[in-house]
Amino acid sequence: MAIEDILRKIRSDAEAKASEIIHNAKREEESILKKAKGEAIKLGEKLLKEGKDATTQERKREITMANLEARKEMLALKQELIEEAFKGTLNSLFSLPAEEYRSAIKKMLISAVVSGEEEVIIPVMDKEKLTSEFIVEVNEALKENGKKGNLMLSLEERNIQGGFILKDGRKETNLSFDSLIEEKRDELEESLISIIFDKKEA
């Protein structure tokens, strides 16, 4: 997988995860709306029980308040579903078989390297998979592609999730999975909202 392939996988995995959670989301949405309706009815009954004149205006105001609360809960639900889809996407990337994962990172490195003398910063969790021997393989592949192959595995540790950071002096290129997802977040959110809420309403 080159970088473009990873980005396509991020999108497809996020969309697949969104489809998986639609059923539960629909049930939760129905619960929120039912709760809002119940609150509006209870408020109206409370006004009558207290002997107050529950005018049409008062009822409208209470129903409006209940609907606003329901909308607030719906917005929170939407964000929760999106975050769940993103989390599922990261998990699907992490769960790739070791050889497939190494192959994906190798292709990403080959397409991202500029000078061929960068340091490669990897996640702590990947130390057993992306070893110095792995970097030797990448260097050989770079030379076969007519590039310099003097990459070095950095001893520096960063709090990144999957992927890697290329460091060349003061210049850094962050190609960690969480960074790639964040970079495409707005675009992905729009797509996920469409998938989750359009399908739920269908």
Instruction: Please say whether the beta carbons of 43 and 62 come within 8 A.
Output: yes
Does 53 have pLDDT greater than 60? no
Distance CA 118, CA 116 (A): 6
- Residue range 170-186: mean pLDDT, rounded: 88
Average pLDDT, the chain: 79
CA distance 106 to 175: 12
What DSSP state is assigned to residue 125?
G
- The letter for the amino acid at 85 is A
- pLDDT confidence band for 202 (50 / 70 / 90): very low
Q: What is the pLDDT of residue 33?
A: 60
Token digits for 13?
């995995």
Per-residue pLDDT reduced to its tens digit, 145-162 = 999 999 999 999 888 999
- For the whole prediction, is pTM greater than 0.95? no
The distance of Cα 48 from the centroid of its chain, to the nearest Å, equals: 48
Q: How many CA atoms lie within 13 A of 8 on its CB side?
A: 6
Which residues touch 75 (CB under 8 Å, ≥6 apart)?
Answer: none
